[in-house]
């Protein structure tokens, strides 16, 4: 059949099926192949919250969305051009994400009476029941064709059914003229000790590709041309891995060994796992028995002279609170990474939110401010982790990094930086007494920065006390009320003075005018895309996105006063908006909040602005 190859600027594909259908791997392989081809990519894994939900049910649907483009893209996309639904439940749970003319690829073998019943359909025609019209539906017996493929080559068809996802991937590769080479190389590497698995996956992948080329359901195919990227070495990276690498880079730049003491928790576990495989770089990791042990071991490592890190999510940050107060009181450098998820309590562990900001800012007893930073994209997690470590060590204080499940699991192309472009890290390590000191004063401060010195245990003449009780500059326990007020103010001032080192907040779009959109953290890509979309419609708004939350950039007030209306977008009930109200009460803050365990949709943001203009 003659068909055209149509150039498209970008495309969004959503792979969905049961947890055991391998949709995360399928989506990752498509994203990796696109990245090798030279496309810009952004991904969004959407895991089910239930552990081992009944097979074939809506609760057990696992999804992976990939957005590829020939120019810069900033989000995994709102709605999909292609939906791969490996069973009826996947179709039912994802029909709301379809574009009007989307292509739907289904495995008809799973659309039997039992499958439809498990998914909650009332009729035998799920497409009519879901009112699916004007879509290109590729109804393929994927399970049967996978069995036939493996039967013909003498391979175990029962074991081979686990690779039926590769058949669907082959169809998508044909649809978008993607080469099979990189995926085949992945199989060769992953299954190097099992040649039969290499053969099995390659056969099914090629059969899916050839099937798509032979059926009449695909009139035209598409191609997303490579983007024009800055020369360099690129890799696809997710936020959790980027944080791990940023911490390792900071360890190298500071000369301090890296220690991570953590307890596994979704969605932060990937950071601990990534650090654990880099022992050759001097990284030490300890999987502790609980969250409290995780941070306490990190505090001990910090006292001993390490770049100390602990990783967690919202529930774990709650448990670490008392020990975090100890790190503040002892004035030891510590990086706490919180990959936020939907709460409270256990909440929805696999879904993303920004609902830990209040906890990061205020969730401790006593006067205990800490620096708070937030990455805005998966690759920016590297930058944030590096500077969080730099600030923690150079200012002798804990720094909280508020990542999000959306960033930690999501991925994008990352140009591997030259570390010569990153600044040195100079911890205030002291090696001997100053001439005027009769003995070591552990809380004697630099008058410009309020930073005390870092005396490593075992250094002769620098013996000193640490602990959770208030102390004076000499390190002696003190209950003197004036000493307590002095130390409280000095610790707070130390955090405030960090503002002199952080970059000013930049306004994207209109520098002044009617409306300023304000955001922080992982909403950046959606906000940036919304600003671009509004500009294309002739609507001029400004966007101020904050990577530093405590302290705020020094020019924050100057930016806010240039606009008539300020609207704060965040995935919570208004934490950052309320924080701004305490800092700059002279301004009025409008809010747009979403608490659904899902990232923003660009349409939601633009609609909020249009309503505000009306």
CA distance 438 to 100: 78
* Cα four-point dihedral sign 582, 587, 591, 597: negative
Say if residues 10 and 42 touch (Cβ distance below 8 Å): no
SS3 at position 569: strand
What is the structure's pLDDT at 157? 66
What is the structure's pLDDT at 91? 97
Q: Which CATH number fits domain 235-420: 3.30.70.260, 2.120.10.30, 3.40.50.880, 3.40.50.970?
A: 3.40.50.970
Q: How far, CA to CA in Å, does 200 sit from each of 15, 159, 222?
A: 21, 10, 27
Which pair of structure tokens corresponds to residue 5?
A: 């190859």
**Residue numbers of the chain with a pLDDT score lower than 50:** none
CA distance 524 to 404: 12
Reply yes or no: is the peptide bond before residue 404 cis, omega within 30 of 0: no
The residue among 103, 146, 111, 142 whose CA lies nearest residue 129 is 111
pLDDT digits (tens, 9 = 90+) for 13-58: 999 999 889 999 999 999 999 999 999 999 999 999 887 788 899 9
DSSP state for residue 338 in the 8-state scheme: E
Asked, colleague to colleague, whether 5-223 and 235-420 share their fold, the answer is: no
Beta-ladder partners of 45: 64
pTM surpassing 0.85? yes
Which pair of structure tokens corresponds to residue 416?
A: 């591997």
Which pair of structure tokens corresponds to residue 36?
A: 């090798």
Instruction: Indicate the domain borders of the chain.
Output: 5-223, 235-420, 507-613
Question: Residue 378: CB partners within 8 Å, gap ≥ 6?
Answer: 237, 238, 239, 242, 407, 408, 410, 411, 412, 414
Fold that domain 507-613 belongs to in CATH: Rossmann fold (3.40.50)
What is the structure's pLDDT at 614? 86
What is the structure's pLDDT at 53? 85
**Environment class of 156 (CB within 10 Å of its CB; exposed 0-12, middle 13-18, buried 19+):** exposed
Terminal CA-CA length for the chain: 51
What is the structure's pLDDT at 1? 52
SS3 at position 584: coil
SS3 at position 120: coil
What is the structure's pLDDT at 35? 92
User: Which superfamily is assigned to 5-223 in CATH?
Assistant: Pyruvate-ferredoxin oxidoreductase, PFOR, domain III (3.40.920.10)
* DSSP notation for 434-469: -TT-SS--TT---TTT----EEPTT-TT-----SSS
Say if residues 313 and 267 touch (Cβ distance below 8 Å): yes
Helix H, strand E, coil C: the string for 185-232 is HHHHHHCCCCHHHHHHHHHHHHHHHHHHHHCCCCCCEEECCCCCCCCC
Which pair of structure tokens corresponds to residue 70?
A: 């020939």
Torsion angles phi and psi, residue 378, rounded to 5: -55, -45
What is the structure's pLDDT at 16? 97
The residue among 141, 153, 147 whose CA lies nearest residue 195 is 153
What is the structure's pLDDT at 50? 83
């Amino acid at each position: 059949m003659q068909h055209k190859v149509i150039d498209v600027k970008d495309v969004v594909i959503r792979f969905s099926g049961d947890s055991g259908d391998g949709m995360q791997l399928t989506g990752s392989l498509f994203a990796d192949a696109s990245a090798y081809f030279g496309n810009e990519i952004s991904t969004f894994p959407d895991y089910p919250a239930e552990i081992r939900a009944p097979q074939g049910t809506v609760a057990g649907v696992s999804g992976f969305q990939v957005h590829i483009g020939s120019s810069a893209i900033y989000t995994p996309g709102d709605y999909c051009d292609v939906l791969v639904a490996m069973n009826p439940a996947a179709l039912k749970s994802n029909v709301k994400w379809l574009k009007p003319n989307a292509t739907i690829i289904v495995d008809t073998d799973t659309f039997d009476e039992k499958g439809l019943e498990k998914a909650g359909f009332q009729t035998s025609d799920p497409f009519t029941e879901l009112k699916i019209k004007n879509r290109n539906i590729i109804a393929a017996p994927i399970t049967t064709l996978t069995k036939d493929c493996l039967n013909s080559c003498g391979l175990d068809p029962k074991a081979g059914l686990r690779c039926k996802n590769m058949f669907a991937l082959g169809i998508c590769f044909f649809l978008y003229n993607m080469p099979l080479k990189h995926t085949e190389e992945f199989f060769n590497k992953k299954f190097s000790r099992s040649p039969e698995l290499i053969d099995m996956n390659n056969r099914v992948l090629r059969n899916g590709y050839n099937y798509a080329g032979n059926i009449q359901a695909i009139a035209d195919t598409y191609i997303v041309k490579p983007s024009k990227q800055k020369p360099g070495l690129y890799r696809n990276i997710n936020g959790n891995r980027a944080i791990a690498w940023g911490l390792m880079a900071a360890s190298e730049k500071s000369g301090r060994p890296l220690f991570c003491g953590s307890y596994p928790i979704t969605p932060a576990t990937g950071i601990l796992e990534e650090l654990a495989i880099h022992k050759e770089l001097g990284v030490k990791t300890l999987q502790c028995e609980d969250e409290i042990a995780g941070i306490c071991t990190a505090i001990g490592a910090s006292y001993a002279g390490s770049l100390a890190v602990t990783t967690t999510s919202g529930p774990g940050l709650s448990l670490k609170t008392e020990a975090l107060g100890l790190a503040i009181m002892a004035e030891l450098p510590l990086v706490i990474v919180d990959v936020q998820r939907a709460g409270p309590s256990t909440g929805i562990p696999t879904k993303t939110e920004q609902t830990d900001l209040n906890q990061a800012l205020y969730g401790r007893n006593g006067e205990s401010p800490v620096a708070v930073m937030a990455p805005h994209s998966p690759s920016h997690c590297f930058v944030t982790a590096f500077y969080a470590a730099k600030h923690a060590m150079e200012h002798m204080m804990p720094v909280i990094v508020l990542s999000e499940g959306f960033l930690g699991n999501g991925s994008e192309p990352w140009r591997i930086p030259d570390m010569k472009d990153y600044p040195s890290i100079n911890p205030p390590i002291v090696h001997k007494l100053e001439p005027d000191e009769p003995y070591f004063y552990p809380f004697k401060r630099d008058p410009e920065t309020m930073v005390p010195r870092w005396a490593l245990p075992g250094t002769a003449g620098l013996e000193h006390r640490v602990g959770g009780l208030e102390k004076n500059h000499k390190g002696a326990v003190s209950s003197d009320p004036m000493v307590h007020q002095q130390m409280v103010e000095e610790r707070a001032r130390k955090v405030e003075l960090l503002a002199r080192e952080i970059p000013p907040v930049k306004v994207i779009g209109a520098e002044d005018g009617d409306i300023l959109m304000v955001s922080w953290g992982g909403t950046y890509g959606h906000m940036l895309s919304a600003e671009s979309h509004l500009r294309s419609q002739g609507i001029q708004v400004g966007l101020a996105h904050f990577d530093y939350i405590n302290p705020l950039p020094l020019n924050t007030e100057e930016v806010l006063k240039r606009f008539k209306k300020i609207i704060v977008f965040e995935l919570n009930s208004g934490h950052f908006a309320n924080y701004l109200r305490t800092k700059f009460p002279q301004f009025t803050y409008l809010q747009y909040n979403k608490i659904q365990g899902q990232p923003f949709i660009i349409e939601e943001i633009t609609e909020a602005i249009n309503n505000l203009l009306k």
